[in-house]
Amino acid sequence: MNPLRSIILAAAKNGAIRTAVATAPVSRDVVRRFVAGETTAEAVAVTRRLAEDGLTATLDYLGEDTTDAALAEATVLAYEELLSALHDQGLSDRAEVSVKLTAVGQLLDEELALANARRICRAAEAAGTTVTLDMEDHTTTDSTLRILAELRSTWPWVGAVLQSYLHRTLDDARALASSGSRVRLCKGAYAEPESVAFDAGQETDLSYVRCVNALLAGDGYPMFATHDPRLVRIITERAEAHGRKPGSFEFQMLYGIRPEEQRRLAQLGHTVRVYVPYGGEWYGYLMRRLAERPANTTFFLRALATRN
Ligand SMILES: Cc1cc2nc3c(=O)[nH]c(=O)nc-3n(C[C@H](O)[C@H](O)[C@H](O)COP(=O)(O)OP(=O)(O)OC[C@H]3O[C@@H](n4cnc5c(N)ncnc54)[C@H](O)[C@@H]3O)c2cc1C
């Protein structure tokens, strides 16, 4: 892994750095580049703007690694409120939700996380939309796939996420490439040991392409999450080779990253879904975005230095 990336991801776990960054006056402005806002109303407003540009959304109420059942409960309530607002505003055919299981109690108790995820799925069903379970660090992968299987027995539309940097992922992709199965493929954003993950560079990209082929060859609905221009080109070519028409798979990108490319792909007739995070707990999310791109880090550190 790139040393700068490991340093930033390690800093993300450090309480003192967290307090310094989270309370710096400039942070809020920088955060706004990647985060839609703190409230349901702001998240819905961003969804509407994206819809006007021909884009769809998956909304993430920020939070993770919760070890407090009351916080997990607050997260469920936030999703219920959001889903009802999307329905009331006629946006549930344009937007779904992404859920981190560690935000709804996975680190406390798998059964609690499952029960909370069920409540979110029920609310999504009532709103007429879907849920995707984000994938977090590798220690949670098996538990997340178990919860996914449970949820899919009631709601087959619940989406999974696979990370191409993990050695195991091609097997998971083959196992999940079945009819009706929604699978988001990404490279992976956590600091992982060599024993389970490829290097962040070429090996992860090659694994990504192998998984693209496995997902396109199956009967499921692949969701390709990447900003990488080379991978976008390869996905487009491989989709054609597999006889996949636009609409039988989708592209996904993060809010604030390559917005012109998002619109370009939508104009070509592709479904493009933008991952829109919102809420007050933006710290871990922002640190992963900075770790991905040194240019963002320089921008962020310069802004911190000049305002303090
Ligand atoms: C919709 C979505 C959902 C995700 N969900 C998860 C999840 O559940 N679990 C998880 O671990 N990770 C998730 N991720 C994050 C993902 O794993 C990667 O960390 C992240 O997407 C960066 O990888 P990349 O494929 O964009 O390629 P990178 O290797 O980061 O970037 C490749 C190239 O993309 C271009 N690029 C990247 N950023 C920019 C930019 N800001 N401006 C211009 N060009 C840029 C550059 O050309 C760069 O060289 C998600 C990502 C997306 C898009």
Q: What pLDDT digit, counting tens, does each position of 103-120 carry?
A: 999 999 999 999 999 999
CA atoms of 275 and 223, how far apart (whole Å): 12
**Pocket residue to mutate for ligand 1, from 228, 255, 299, most atoms within 8 A of Cβ:** 228
**Placement of tokens 């069920």 in the chain:** 118
Q: What is the pLDDT of residues 164-206, one digit of tens each?
A: 999 999 999 999 999 999 999 999 999 999 999 998 899 999 9
| Domain residue limits, the chain | 35-281
Q: Whose CA is nearest to atom 49 of ligand 1?
A: 228
Q: What is the pLDDT, as a whole number, of residue 298?
A: 67
The percentage of the chain sitting over the pLDDT mark of 70, rounded to a whole number, equals 91
The best mutation among 226, 257, 258 to test binding of ligand 1, ranked by most ligand atoms within 8 Å of the C-beta, falls on: 226
> For the domain bounded by 35-281, which CATH number is listed?
3.20.20.220
pLDDT in tens, 205-215: 999 999 999 99
Answer yes or no: pTM beyond 0.85: yes
Q: Which residue CA neighbors atom 30 of ligand 1 most closely?
A: 292
Q: What would the pLDDT profile of 6-48 be if each residue is shown by its tens digit?
A: 777 777 777 777 777 777 766 677 788 889 999 999 999 999 9
Asked if 82 contacts 116 with a C-beta cutoff of 8 angstroms, the reply is: no
Distance of alpha carbon 15 from alpha carbon 27, whole angstroms: 16
Atom of ligand 1 nearest to the CA of 58: 1
- Give residue 308's pLDDT band: very low, low, confident or very high (50, 70, 90): very low
